[in-house]
């Protein structure tokens, strides 16, 4: 195991990106997969079925439900991103981890270039780079430009780094936060929304998932949970979200013909009002 992968693996939250990749790799090998992620196996590294089983036991769920939850969430957000990219040409992925969507999603419905900004801590991006080197030659899907930015999203400096790397605050943006907010305290979630709105032009959107208080009881690193849809709408309306689409996770599972756990509550897609 390389030093970069060890640093990711040694961090409890970083390790979740490896187990999520292992789940997507497992799904890719099915005869009828919901998604194909050829990069997941490389990113997962030595995280195999035994590690996924251990992690699922820690979360007090089964391997099958843990894997299905990850895959169903990823597929739903794949479809949403593909739809958004038709009209929105600036996409920011917060805490990207093992997210290789710019390389694996076909955005052929888009006639102009889409700019992806992938943000995460330095050790994660260093490990991503090692994975990409193993996959060379590798190019993004058609009409994609990718910028990876090493930053700490709990630090106020990340926003200026984003702008320094070419982000345009006068263009609509699709912000994606998959499996991220659950690890933050509510104060930090609110701060990030305030920062995002400062640079979000008209018609910008954000998508993210939420987990249940049940999962917090099983996994001590979980900080932010919401069980009630009305509470979701109240909090995120306060944070500047409008036209909120709050899809129950059980409904997402039904959409793709899979049974999911009760650990996750909603996937939210909303427009952002500008500050």
Q: Quick one: CA torsion of 20, 173, 256, 215, rounded to 10 degrees?
A: 50
pLDDT band at 141 (very low <50, low <70, confident <90, very high): confident
Q: Mind giving me the DSSP string for 48-109?
A: -HHHHHHHHHHTTS-HHHHHHHHHHHHHHHHHHHHHHTTT--EEEETT-TT--HHHHS--TT
Give the global pTM.
0.93
pLDDT band at 215 (very low <50, low <70, confident <90, very high): confident
Check pLDDT > 80 for residue 50.
Answer: no
Predicted pLDDT of residue 106: 84
pLDDT in tens, 252-265: 999 999 999 999 99
Predicted pLDDT of residue 111: 66
The ranges assigned to domains in the chain are: 74-272
pLDDT band at 235 (very low <50, low <70, confident <90, very high): very high
Structure tokens, 13? 């939250």
User: Is the N-terminal amide bond of 137 cis, ω within 30° of 0?
Assistant: yes
Give me the architecture of the 74-272 domain, per CATH: 3-Layer(aba) Sandwich (3.40)
Q: What pairs with residue 176 in β-bridges?
A: 93, 207
Predicted pLDDT of residue 139: 74
Predicted pLDDT of residue 231: 98
Check pLDDT > 70 for residue 55.
Answer: no
Predicted pLDDT of residue 51: 57
- List CB contacts of 68: < 8 A, sequence separation 6 or more: 253, 258, 259, 260, 261
Structure tokens, 119? 């943000």
Tracing tokens 């030093």 back to the chain, one arrives at 3
Q: What pairs with residue 120 in β-bridges?
A: 150
pLDDT band at 163 (very low <50, low <70, confident <90, very high): very high
Check pLDDT > 80 for residue 90.
Answer: yes
Structure tokens, 115? 């700019």
Check pLDDT > 60 for residue 2.
Answer: no
Structure tokens, 14? 């970083």
Dist CA 189 CA 191 (whole Å): 5
């Amino acid at each position: 195991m390389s030093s970069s992968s060890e640093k990711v693996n040694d961090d409890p939250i970083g390790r979740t990106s490896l187990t999520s990749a292992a789940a997507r790799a497992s799904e890719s090998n099915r005869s009828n997969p919901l998604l194909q992620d050829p990069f997941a196996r490389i990113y997962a590294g030595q995280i195999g079925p035994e590690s996924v089983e251990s992690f699922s036991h820690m979360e007090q769920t089964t391997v099958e439900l843990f894997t299905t939850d990850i895959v169903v969430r990823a597929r739903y957000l794949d479809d949403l991103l593909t739809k958004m990219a038709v009209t929105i040409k600036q996409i920011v992925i917060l805490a990207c981890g093992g997210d290789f969507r710019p390389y694996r999603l076909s955005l052929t419905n888009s006639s102009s270039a889409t700019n992806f900004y992938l943000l995460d801590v330095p050790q994660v991006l260093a490990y991503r780079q090692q994975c990409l080197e193993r996959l060379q030659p590798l190019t993004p899907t058609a009409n994609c430009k990718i910028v990876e930015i090493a930053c700490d999203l709990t630090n106020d400096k990340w926003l200026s780094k984003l702008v320094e790397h070419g982000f345009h605050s006068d263009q609509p943006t699709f912000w994606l936060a998959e499996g991220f907010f659950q690890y933050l305290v509510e104060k930090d979630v609110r701060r990030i929304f305030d920062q995002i709105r400062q640079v979000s032009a008209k018609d910008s959107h954000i998508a993210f998932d939420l987990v249940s208080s049940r999962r917090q009881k099983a996994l001590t690193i979980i900080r932010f949970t919401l069980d009630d849809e009305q509470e979701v709408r109240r909090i995120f309306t306060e944070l500047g979200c409008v036209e909120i689409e709050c899809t129950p996770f059980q409904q997402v599972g039904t959409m793709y013909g899979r049974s999911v756990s009760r650990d996750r509550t909603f996937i939210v897609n909303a427009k952002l009002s500008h500050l």
